[in-house]
Amino acid sequence: MRVQCLAGSGVALSLWVTSPAKVTAADNLRAGEVKRPGKGDVMEAIIQVLEFTIAARDSYTVGHQRRVSQIACNIGGEMGLSKDRLRNLRMAGTLHDLGKIAIPSGLLSKAGNLNPLEFALIKTHPQVAYNILKPITLPGNTAKIILQHHERMNGSGYPQGLKGEEILLEARILGVADVLEAMCSHRPYRTSLGLVETLDELTGNKDILYDGAVVETCLKLYGKDLPAPLAVTIPPPPVSPGDGPQTHKIFSQMLPWLQAKGGKTWNWAKLHTKGHYP
């Protein structure tokens, strides 16, 4: 409210004084009228934020994770996983390399063999991802699937050296999908190794490194051929209208370069989906 008073010189001054009235229940109701998103919407938004975070540093990894997620869900669906387990597997696949944000980018794209120290650093990424995601209440065993996706049937994997049934089935599926995608894809440091070498790796290490039933299902779905390469589109950088014209100009100049880069490094084969990808 406004009040008037006289200053020492006789000049009238107008002052605004904040009303001392308490906030009413109606005020609180109006302030809370914004629709709250459901729990599932929040979780998907968190995953998208994490994807954008990864893409800002390593654009290749986002496409790799999405393809691995799709392959894993197709295998899991063929093996009869429930809708909830497929959802957890999809989320885990989408974020399984999140921990690589802690790895120097030069190391991730290094051509040639890694030395023991470099490889030891690479092997920390499942644990780093698990630690990052621990404060978030992901559904089911999603975080543990990520933690275990580099474990192997004979105990030679990492980070915990689990064996056989100690490894979650979803993690065993994700591990095979990861190998299939990585070997058949052009990587920043090498070209695709091709289908023949990939199948040799999976079949030669069936029930040694990789779950036999998972490998058989993978071969059933993807073992015949890999058709024409598919370029995976890099998502546009997260820019909002309020970011200002300069920011929009910078990102609009960057995007064609990112897309060109993606076209060279994100090529893989089309995936024959069977309706299992949630």
**∠139-71-186 over CA atoms, to 5°?**
120
Do 134 and 143 meet the contact criterion of CB atoms below 8 Å apart? yes
Predicted pLDDT of residue 151: 97
Give dist(CA 150, CA 148) in Å, integer: 6
Written as tens digits, the pLDDT of the chain (278 aa) is 554 555 555 555 555 555 556 666 666 555 555 455 555 567 788 888 888 887 777 777 888 888 899 999 999 999 999 999 999 999 999 999 999 988 887 787 777 788 888 889 889 999 999 999 988 888 899 999 999 999 999 999 999 999 999 999 999 999 999 999 888 877 666 777 778 888 889 999 999 999 999 999 999 888 765 433 334 444 555 555 555 666 656 656 655 554 554 443 334 444 433 444 44
The domain defined by 40-228+250-269 folds into Hypothetical protein af1432 (1.10.3210)
For the chain, domain boundaries: 40-228+250-269
The residues with which 229 forms a beta bridge, in sequence order, are 269
* 96, amino acid identity: H
235 preceded by a cis bond (ω within 30 of 0): no
Spatial separation of the C-alpha atoms in residues 228 and 156, rounded to whole Å: 35
Please report the pLDDT score of residue 265 as a whole number. Answer: 37
CB atoms within 10 A of CB 211: 23
Candidates 142, 120, 149, 143; CA nearest to 131 is 143
What is the pTM assigned to this prediction? 0.70
